[in-house]
Structure formats: structure tokens, C-alpha cells
Amino acid sequence: MKALDSHYIIDGREMDATPREILSALCQDQPAGNTSPEPGQEDIIDEAADPQPGNGYFEPTLAKSYAKAVASTKRESFPLCYSGSLSRLAVARGLLEALFKEGHFKLGDLRPQADWIWNEAPIGSMAAFYESVSWACEYMDNLGVKLGGYSLAPGAANSLQIRCDTVASLPGEDTLFEESPFITPDAHIGKALKTSPLAIPSKGDWIIYIPFDTCRYRLGGSLLAQATGKEGGKSPDVTDADYFIDCYEVVRELVEDGVAVAGTPVADGGLYTALYKFIGNKAFTADIASVARAAEEEDITKLLFGEIPGVLIQIKDYDFDYIDAELLLQDVAYYPLGQLSGADGALTLDTSGSALKGILISLMDNASEGED
């Protein structure tokens, strides 16, 4: 296909490799799909699209109505100027969806299938496709993840879908010593989920938020910007692969050990959208004050809808100290958002920190009484 096999000249600069060469370098085995090279393609000359500055104010008091709008919104297409950042988000989302599946595997065992659908006609579209491929592959390479296969199909919109249905096969004897630290000998992944995808109405259970990147919360390219028709400005700079690896390892252990009884990725739509879907019709007050302090973010809307990869997990109250010790040991930041009441109700937000402070004081009082 022309888009895969041509050499690219973008903004007057010749790219070092074709998209197929970039993708093939990340494939451990022969990739599946429409990947047979077609040599002799003409050069593709295009210009990259630049993000527009933010052109609208998002009202923090409308967070709930924003969440309803975003929860029912599907990404229509990658805006050309955000194709790279949204491709990294797509990679993270696919890996996070696999995180909660049955089986026994580590991050490096996964062999994702990357499927692009792309509209090659508009000006800037081919530059955006090249950026999508290069940014996605660079991110996966930094994560230590090899591709199982890839495909490209024409379409009216631009998108990247990452599916993680397979794991690495065992290496041969000649590479066993070199590969064994990164390959699980009995790795396997199931189709079913190990944890519930929705919060379970169990009184006293904690909802924990764990972001998988250390970048700032931004709204460029977000579903909130799409749903409201506003430009969000810059997109989150999701690049901290080392931190993602640390987070993935510890949360995967919690899932396999049954400590996480429910869980869901935080990706498209951000934290509030994931919470809104995860909590459903259960009464829950989410205390996000500690998240705001740690992120040094005064704009609550960015915090709630900025699309930084992460997870929400539900744990039992008696596992809280264990979770605290494990995550601190791995130097992974986590944020207890509150405890479930076990009753039906609605999701509410507390930005003052008073809700969580009351819970912690109560727990300390109970511990003191027990010690006496």
C-alpha cells in the first residue's frame, strides 16, 4: 500500500524510514494482515498540522453534565494535529484493557495487533499517519512491547485500534538466557475478565485511582473538546514508559492475586468519565483533592477530563494497608478516592478533601480503640 511503503517528506524534511520499516522492526514474528510490501512507490510530500490554541473556557461546575456528554461520545476521528498523542493513548488503552483479563502474563509478554483505518485524501493526513505510526511504535518500543501484527485499511476517518489477544511464544534455546527476564515461561491470556468491569456495591470497599504517566493534565484532542466543539490546546505528553511499566507490573499482580475485585482503564474521556461509567448507579463521593494537589492543577476540568492513561480499582477495606505498602514499595503514586456506601445513588465530587479526611480520622479512631 502506498501509505505503508512510500518514503515521506514532511515539512521539507525526508523521513529516515517508511512506515512499514518502522512497524516491521517492532514485530517479533512475521506480521499478519495486509503487510506485503509494494516497492517502487512515489515519495509522499505533505505538511504537518499544528494544534490550535485553546479557544474556550470549561466551567468546573458543569463537570457532571460534561461527563454525561463525554460518556456517550465516541471519538469520531483523530484530529490531524493530535494523531501522535492519540496513538500513544490508543496503545496505552489497549494494554490497560488487557491488564484486567484472566491469565498469567507481564507487560512484555503481550503481542498487540495494531489496526489503522485512515483517510489519505486531506492535506496533512499522510503526515499525520506517519506521526501516528512513528509515535505509537516508539512508545511500544520504550515499553518493551513487540507487535504481533499490523494492518492498514482505507476509511472516512482516522483511527488506531490496539488489540491484545496473544502473548509471546517461548524463545528458543539459543535466546533463552537473553530473553528469559522479559518473557514469562508459562504466559497465557484469556478472553474473559479477571475482575468486574463495574464497581461492586460492597459497603466499605475502596476505589483507588492510579495514573500510569507523570505528565500534566491537558485537554487537547480530548473527547471533552470534541463533545463541546472547543479546541483544547496542547495534548497530554504521554511519554513516561518506565513509570507505565512499574505501574503495570504492580497492578497486574493485584489483579492476578484477586486483591483488585473490580477495575477499569482510565483513557478516553479521562478520570471523571471512567468514574462515571465504573460507579454506575451506586452512591459514591469521589475525593479528588489529593489528585489536584499532587498534579499541582488548579483547573479541575483538566484534572477530570485530561486523557492520561491509568486505572481505577476496587479493593476490600482489609486490603488497604497491603495496597499502601505494595504501591509505596514500588514508588507508584495512588489516590484513594473514597469508600463505597453499598447503597444506590449517584456519583458526586468533593474537591475540598473533607470527605476522605473524615474517613481517615474514623479509621484512626477505630484503630486506637482496638489498641486500648
State residue 3's pLDDT score: 92
pLDDT tens-place string over residues 328-372: 999 999 999 999 998 999 999 998 766 555 444 444 344 444 443
DSSP lists the bridge partners of residue 208 as: 313, 336
Q: Which residue has the higher pLDDT, 368 or 209?
A: 209
Contact of 164 with 110, CB cutoff 8 Å: yes
Look up the pTM and report it. Answer: 0.89
pLDDT tens-place string over residues 210-238: 999 999 999 999 999 999 888 778 899 99
State residue 362's pLDDT score: 42
pLDDT tens-place string over residues 68-98: 889 889 998 999 999 999 999 999 999 999 9
Considering 32-41, 167-176, 321-330, the range whose residues carry the highest mean pLDDT is 321-330
Cell 484493557 belongs to 97
State residue 95's pLDDT score: 98
Residue type, 298: E
DSSP lists the bridge partners of residue 193 as: 101
pLDDT band at residue 160 using 50, 70 and 90 as cut-offs: very high
State residue 33's pLDDT score: 46
pLDDT tens-place string over residues 163-194: 999 898 755 444 444 444 556 888 999 999 99
pLDDT tens-place string over residues 229-269: 887 788 999 999 999 999 999 999 999 999 999 999 999 99
State residue 190's pLDDT score: 94
Q: Which residue has the higher pLDDT, 37 or 63?
A: 63
Confidence check: pLDDT of 271 > 80: yes
Residues 202-215 have a mean pLDDT of 97
Residues 290-302 have a mean pLDDT of 87
Contact of 71 with 264, CB cutoff 8 Å: no
Residue type, 237: D
pLDDT band at residue 162 using 50, 70 and 90 as cut-offs: very high
Whole-number mean pLDDT of the chain?
A: 87
Per-residue H/E/C for the chain: CHHHHCCEEECCEECCCCHHHHHHHHECCCCCCCCCCCCCCCCEEECCCCCCCCCCCCCHHHHHHHHHHHHCCCCCCCCHHHHHHHHHHHHHHHHHHHHCEEEECCHHHECCEEEEEECCCCCCHHHHHHHHHHHHHHHHHHHCCCECEEEEEECCCCEEEEECCCECCCCCHHHHHHHHHHCCCCCEEEEEECCECCCCCCCCCEEEEEECCCCCCCCCCCHHHHHHCCCCCCCCCCCCHHHHHHHHHHHHHHHHCCCCCEEEEECCCHHHHHHHHHHCCECEEEECHHHHHHHCCCCHHHHHHCCCCEEEEEECHHHHHHHHHHHHHCCCCCEEEEECCCCECCEEEECCCHHHHHHHHHHHHHHHHHHC
pLDDT tens-place string over residues 100-153: 999 999 999 999 999 999 999 999 999 999 999 999 999 999 999 999 999 999
